[in-house]
Amino acid sequence: MQYAYDAYVTAVSFDSAGQGVFALGDGTLRFEGGEAVSAHDGAILAAAPHPSGQGVITGGDDGRLVWSQAPGAREIASLPGKWIDAVASSAASGLIAFAAGRDVHVRDTADAAFSRSFAHEKSVADLAFELKGRRLAAATYGGVWLWYARIEAQKPAKLAWAGSHVAIAWSPDGKFLISAMQENQLHGWRVADEKNMRMGGYPAKPKSLAFLNKGSLLATSGANGVVVWPFAGATGPMGKQAAEVGYDEAAMVVRVAGTPGLNWIAAGLDDGRVWACDLAGQKIAPLKAEKGAPVTALAMTPDAKRVAWGCEDGAAGVAEIER
């Protein structure tokens, strides 16, 4: 099924029923069933699935954090005059985190009175919860700061590396934290001892990351194919070479999506095409063969059976992966 919307697709996700949800630059949420919800007075800048699996949490340039479901939208927080441009959620802990400038805020879906705020020296570009939802990573200039999401007064652990960090991902076991840099490289840390890992060689900026196969593989964008790093063992990718899947000299992979428990990966290209691949067999399954505007958002269901995508010009779709 394909759709044509009138705005840039900021993010896509799947709800607990496996239905696709599209967050758009005009402030609306579009649901696969046809419902449209007006959530923001302005653009949606970031989105994440609600911890319950019902609907989507979005942040906008109107300074509002909103929970949208097909029947309608509900405001969770408001920061007038701010932009909420990073959002993360945890199904395990029920927590929601969002960033506005240098400040990160945390809310608890089970306790309306719960509120935490964490200040940073520079603006926060991305947020990620570890698997249990207890620790929160914030990507900022000069590295990544780690917080215990429920603790009010604390000193964060700081994983330092010079440069601007724009996207982050925890390994499912919580042992590694990987950051996409403003340069054409990744940087990683082994969390226990803060061991640095430099992961370079990219022809473009690797802005999209996804752990697969119980955390033993990391797939990224930033090349003519999906770059796959080995993470098995205590040292992760250190001393190992990455592989490239689905190489196409005519296009660049700009978005990846996967599911931590399986080997399937989806790729969105800068020419609008979308494909999926089981890394065990490396057979490419085309999902959107026609070319168009660059893919801006991509998501896969936990069972790796469906993929949703959105593009710069508002083109979007959902497809079943043929096995």
Task: Give the CATH H-level superfamily of domain 202-323.
Answer: YVTN repeat-like/Quinoprotein amine dehydrogenase (2.130.10.10)
The mean pLDDT of 259-266, rounded to a whole number, is 92
Asked if pLDDT for residue 322 goes beyond 80, the answer is yes
Q: Quick one: how far is CA 134 from the chain centroid?
A: 18
Confidence of residue 187 (pLDDT cuts 50, 70, 90): very high
What backbone phi and psi angles, to 5 degrees, belong to 133? Answer: 75, 20
Please tell me the distance from the alpha carbon of residue 312 to that of residue 9, in angstroms, as a whole number.
Answer: 6
Domain ranges, ordered by start, for the chain: 202-323
Please tell me the distance from the alpha carbon of residue 87 to that of residue 209, in angstroms, as a whole number.
Answer: 16
Note the pLDDT of residue 161. Answer: 96
The tokens describing 245, both together, are: 């899947």
**pTM summary value:** 0.95
| 70-104 pLDDT per residue, tens | 999 999 999 999 999 999 999 999 999 999 999 99
Please tell me the distance from the alpha carbon of residue 21 to that of residue 42, in angstroms, as a whole number.
Answer: 18
Contact at 8 Å (CB) between 22 and 13?
A: no
Nearest to 59 by CA among 85, 24, 96: 85
Note the pLDDT of residue 265. Answer: 97
Asked if pLDDT for residue 275 goes beyond 90, the answer is yes
Specify the long-range contacts of residues 280-283, CB closer than 8 Å, at least 24 apart. Answer: 282/245
**Distances from the Cα of 119 to the Cα of 102, 123, 154, 259, angstroms:** 6, 9, 11, 31
Question: Looking at 101-208, which runs of residues are DSSP E strands?
Answer: 103-108, 111-119, 124-129, 135-148, 157-170, 176-181, 186-190, 195-199
The mean pLDDT of 146-174, rounded to a whole number, is 95
Please tell me the distance from the alpha carbon of residue 81 to that of residue 63, in angstroms, as a whole number.
Answer: 6
